[in-house]
Structure 1
Amino acid sequence: MEEREERNLELVKSWMPRIPVPEVDLLIVDQMGKDISGSGMDTKVINRGVYGEYNIWDTAPKVHRVFVRGLSPKSHGNAVGIGMADVTTTRVVESVDWAATYVNGLTSNAFGAIRTPVHFATERECMERVWPTAGIFDPAELRIAWLRNTLELGLLGLSENLRPLVEGHPGVEVVGGPWELLFDPAGNLVDLWEEIPGG
């Protein structure tokens, strides 16, 4: 019985959504929110804990920096989990309903989940300021993964240097690219999903 339970546990773990590479320097998350995960972002996808832990899951890729671009509309400003991000924009911080966020974080005793991350005026500045802190000094070597949110991993963007790791990976289809990371005149990322077939 115990042996069968262990096999079942391994099987269930294999079904968990995950980024299909072993290590990411910068993870871009378009939206976090209560409708996506009770903790705002799935902790096993971003490899963070709500108490401030980094890279705690050995079954998930090692993620050095997390950049959150926005809150989901259905969160109604509740940004519990934002403390798991390393960087975000000032726009996101100003959109937070801090009263609701604090109640949620304090009730769950997850102080790390409600801390305010470092924030900058534009997404370009967020990326330019945070990527060197991942220990990579040549931007061409930066390993980037880009998600809509941690609930929707059916389509994700990966930097070209990660492509060899996913080509031939079971369950992964490379649908095109490469595409360049572009910024609009306001310094925000141009939506990658408009470029990807099926996006």
Structure 2
Amino acid sequence: MEMTVIQKIAAYALPVLFAITVHEAAHGYAAKFFGDLTAERLGRITLNPLKHIDPIGTILLPALSVLLGGVLFGWAKPVPVNFAQLRRPKQDMLWVALAGPASNFVMALAWGLILARVDLLPPSSHVFMTQMSLAGIQINLVLLVLNLFPLPPLDGGRIAVSLLPMRAAIKFAQIERYGMLILIALLFTGILGILLSPVLRFFQHLLTLLII
């Protein structure tokens, strides 16, 4: 049964909100655990999506992506982290950055388990829940892989800065001011898709192994 445009947007809405909200909250929780209370003081360690929604990046762009059938793309308001306040700034940066993508993998796994057991739900909900589960898997794996790309200010860039020797880390971190421009250029030239596809396939395969 073919879903209407409204049903399709509704099926994507909840996974998008969860994926972005939990991702940002995970950064905040990790930062607090390692000593930085900036996000907590600003009320950003929360699962309330209203605290994390960016009208363009969280609502408009993902909706257009779904309607036009393009690559799902979007963002939320980043949770503020003062890395200088972490107990071991360079080392702990890795765990704070990794918390977001890790939460996306856990959510992809959860949606995968729902998909595998959709037959336990009422028959009338099978089509909608199948679409929602597939959307949840897709959104979270794309966010996971995209954020692991080693380009500041993405999480992968923070992870790279944490792992590089100090001198190289300082130079690499300076790319951040151009990071979004580089990312958009890679996206529209198709290079980003070529670079991320093998990593996305790896996580899809891993997810399949864990669900079966």
Asked if TM exceeds 0.5, the reply is: no
Structure number with higher helix proportion: 2
Structure number with higher strand proportion: 1
TM-score by length of 1: 0.25
